[in-house]
Structure formats: C-alpha cells, structure tokens
Amino acid sequence: MMDAIRGLMDFIDGAPTAFHAVARIGEALEAAGYIRLEEREPWRLAPGGRYYVTRNRSSVIAFRIPESGLAPFQIVASHSDSPCFKLKPNAGKTAQGLALLNVEKYGGMLMSSWLDRPLSVAGRLIVEGEEGFETRLVDVARNLALIPNLPIHFNRAANDGVALNPQVDMLPIVGAEGADIMEAVAESAGVRRASIAGGDLFLYNRDRATLLGVSDEFIAAPRLDDLACAYASLRALLAAKPSKHIDMLCVFDNEEVGSGTKQGADSTLLIEALRRIALALNAQPQALEAAVAGSFMVSADNAHAAHPNHPEKYDEQNRVYMNGGVVVKSNANQKYTSDGLSAAVFERICAKAGVPTQRFANRSDIAGGSTLGNISNAHASMNAVDIGLAQLAMHSACETMGARDVQYLIDALTAFHETEIGILRDGSVRLGYAPLR
C-alpha cells in the first residue's frame, strides 16, 4: 500500500501541468514496452501488441491488444488537467515598483486557496529550431511567484466571505520592477530566449504532496482531482494480467473547461483510435460496431467526501467518506453515466477483488459537478460507470483524500481489466474472472 501512496505523491510532484502528467505516463508506458504511435502516420498494429498515442501532448490513450485480435474494449478514462491560472499572452505587468504576472483563470477553482502561498510556472514552450517549431516542456521548479492577500485591517469583512475578482485580486508578484519571467522560463528550459516562439504557461502550487494525520490517514496535495485517478488507472493497466479484450487507458485534457477541445473527451480522439485499431487489425465490416457494443468504460474522477463541518451539504443516505473505498457516482439526469447495470457490474468486480465501494448522489437541491464520462459516451457509446475517490476541498490549490483509497482504486481497476465483461445481448452481462492472484 505504501508503494501506491508514495507512487501517487511522486507522480503529482512531477506533474505540475497536464503536459507533464502525460509525459510521465508516456515514460511509464514505454518502460513497460508500450510503443508510441503518431496520429499523423498510419498505424501498424499486431495482435498481442501494446501501444499509446498522445494528442497535443496533453491527452493520452494507451491500449493492449489480445492475441486473438479485435475484441471489446475495457476502458478507464480520467483527466490530466486541474483548475489553475494561465499566463496571458502579454503576461508582464508592473505596479508599485513590482513585477506582476497577468494571468487568467483556467477552470473553476477556489480562488482564495491560491493566496499567500509560493507558486511557480510550468507548461510547454514552442521553440523554433533548425527543423521548425517543436514542443518543449518547462518547469521553473522554484518558488517564483505569490498572490498576496490584502491585510485584514483593510478588509475587516474578509472572514465573512470575500469576493475575489480574477482581473484585480489574483495577479502574483514575481520580482522587483523589471524582473522578466521569460528569462527564468528560458533558462530552466535550457533554450535561448529568442528561440521561444510561443507557449502555454500556468501557475502551480509549489506544495509537495504529503501524508497527513495522526496515523498518516490522508494525503494532502495539489491536483488530486484528477491525477489520483489517472495514476491509479496507469498502475492498473500495467499490473493487470493479459485478457481477452482490449484494455485501454484514456487520460483526457480540458475536463475542467468542458472537454470541448481537439484533445478533450468531447473530441474525436477516442472514437478515431477505436476505428484505427479495427482497421489496423483488418476487422470485418460491423466488427468494430459489435466490439464497441460489447465494451465497457469506467469514467474515473474524484468525488466529494463528506465534510466534517458541513454534513448538511450532502444527501444523508448517499454521502461518501475518505478511506471508505471506491465511490460509485449516480445522477438521475445522467451527469454521471452510471446506471443500474453498469453500477452492478462494477460493484461486483470490486467485491470480488476485496475492494470496498460506497454510493454517492448529490442533495437534490445541489447541482454538484459533472465529468467526462457522458461527454465521451456521446462519441463512442458503450456501457459506462462513473466512479472516483472521496476527497475534500475539490478544486482547492491543496486537496485532501484518504491514503488507503489509492490502493483500493488500483486494485479495483486492475480487477476490472482482468475481468471479462461479456455483454451477451442488450441488458445482459456475464462476468468471467481471471484466476485470483
């Protein structure tokens, strides 16, 4: 269990942005023998092969093909991005003898949690070299910026709830007047300033992931939503024994801004990968459609743990707890994809693997959140369940989850890959289990 916890904390520390998260996933996949594909080139795939592909270097799909060739897909999908602040194109600004960064919101964060803490800058640079433009990841990786609060003396009502305007209140200081952020960025990327033609740069919280609590019951870290699920799904794919279906991992960017980008869950990324896999395996007509109809997706994104100081915010019978096991999320309006069949299938797989599960639904008068499962399902439609791990303070710069839950999710997703989910006909499923380890 400690291996899983340490692994997650290390993954988060090394993934300040979606670009870094996908790079780390790619490294782990290649170390496990996965072959990198380019969307730009024809795919040549072989039964028994393992492959991965990225789009925008911020979304990734990995899959392994059984010896028998095309088969139904068993997919775990999560997201690589987290709410943060993005540098505007002209990010330099000065005020009161200080250099500031002109930033804007990416996603819906708890803005107050970003105040008064050391921040840094990371993302990707577009660097012009001999062969044209290329992408280079960058992480300045030192305490570089801070968004200062107003003193209590100038805002006596601050503890009664404070309104923060992102255009006014959320600009970090980065040095004395004249300090140039791009000098620090170019230096840490090891490139000449003049060679930088563009980039996507973000602020991130410099806190490292840490264990917390009298008995180390919790993990406190930035970006637990959704790197905890992305990490667990990677570990599960790499740990699972070979199966008769096509095991797949999807980590999509841009969930926090609605998924509607070329690399988000609302794009062609997944459906085109499925089509190309079928084509490369010389599938017969209708074989892909039949395989997708027999497929199953686990949409993994974190859930709201019961808050000890505000239990009234949660439905009394459908609240969930940190270290209570994997959360199965339901919503009548299908913001979550779970339905009677998919939830039953997933819960049975967890029970077989000895992983506890708990059921979440929002209060009927609180909208809650949404995620990528139903968005992805509008493109590649298949049986799907929405799950996650219970955490506090979702979209804070520092979130908290149960330490035990990391291993629970890895075990649950490993068991998912090792289970043959046989969709017999519409509405009927038979589960075949791999031999117990």
CB-nearer residue toward Zn ion: 225 or 347: 225
Do 414 and 353 touch, CB atoms closer than 8 A? yes
**Residue 253 interacting with Zn ion (CB under 5 A):** no
Give the nearest distance from C-beta 275 to Zn ion in angstroms.
27
**Sign for the pseudo-dihedral over CA of 7, 84, 307, 354:** negative
CB-nearer residue toward Zn ion: 226 or 247: 226
Residues ≥6 apart with Cβ < 8 Å to 307: 313, 314, 392
Give the nearest distance from C-beta 143 to Zn ion in angstroms.
27
CB-nearer residue toward Zn ion: 200 or 225: 225
Q: Which two tokens stand for residue 387?
A: 């799950």
Give the nearest distance from C-beta 77 to Zn ion in angstroms.
11
**Interface of this chain with Zn ion, residues 294 to 323, rule: CB under 5 A:** 301
CB-nearer residue toward Zn ion: 250 or 277: 250
Alpha helix positions (H), 113-242: 181-189, 224-239
Do 68 and 241 touch, CB atoms closer than 8 A? no
**Binding-site string for Zn ion from residue 78 to residue 117, where x marks contact by CB under 5 A and - marks none:** ----------------------------------------
* Coil/strand/helix, residue 371: coil
Give the nearest distance from C-beta 83 to Zn ion in angstroms.
9
Q: Choose the stretch contacting Zn ion; rule: CB under 5 A; options: 65-73, 130-138, 161-169, 220-228.
A: 220-228
Q: Which of 81, 225, 411, 418 binds Zn ion (CB under 5 A)?
A: 225
Give the closest residue to 149 by CA, choosing from 176, 179, 113: 113
Give the nearest distance from C-beta 370 to Zn ion in angstroms.
9
Q: Which two tokens stand for residue 337?
A: 């994809």
Residues ≥6 apart with Cβ < 8 Å to 293: 382, 423
Q: Which of 81, 139, 200, 226 binds Zn ion (CB under 5 A)?
A: 226
Applying CB under 5 A, the site for Zn ion has a residue count of: 3
Report the chain's C-alpha Rg in angstroms: 22
Give the nearest distance from C-beta 224 to Zn ion in angstroms.
9
Burial of 111 (0-12, 13-18, 19+ CB in 10 A): buried
CB-nearer residue toward Zn ion: 78 or 357: 78
* Coil/strand/helix, residue 111: helix
Q: Choose the stretch contacting Zn ion; rule: CB under 5 A; options: 92-100, 231-239, 293-301, 400-408.
A: 293-301
CB-nearer residue toward Zn ion: 243 or 391: 391
Q: Which two tokens stand for residue 335?
A: 């913001």
CB-nearer residue toward Zn ion: 250 or 281: 250
CB-nearer residue toward Zn ion: 77 or 138: 77
Give the nearest distance from C-beta 148 to Zn ion in angstroms.
29
Give the nearest distance from C-beta 180 to Zn ion in angstroms.
34
**Sign for the pseudo-dihedral over CA of 18, 24, 26, 32:** negative
**Sign for the pseudo-dihedral over CA of 63, 69, 75, 81:** positive
Is the peptide bond preceding residue 139 cis, with omega within 30 degrees of 0?
no
Do 265 and 297 touch, CB atoms closer than 8 A? no
Give the nearest distance from C-beta 221 to Zn ion in angstroms.
14
CB-nearer residue toward Zn ion: 225 or 405: 225
Type of residue numbered 305: A
Give the nearest distance from C-beta 300 to Zn ion in angstroms.
9
Q: What does the alpha-carbon distance between residue 336 and residue 370 come to, in Å, rounded to a whole number?
A: 7
CB-nearer residue toward Zn ion: 81 or 347: 81
Q: What does the alpha-carbon distance between residue 17 and residue 59 come to, in Å, rounded to a whole number?
A: 12
Q: Choose the stretch contacting Zn ion; rule: CB under 5 A; options: 203-211, 223-231, 307-315, 402-410.
A: 223-231
Do 121 and 172 touch, CB atoms closer than 8 A? no
**Binding-site string for Zn ion from residue 318 to residue 357, where x marks contact by CB under 5 A and - marks none:** ----------------------------------------
User: Rule CB under 5 A: which residues touch Zn ion?
Assistant: 225-226, 301
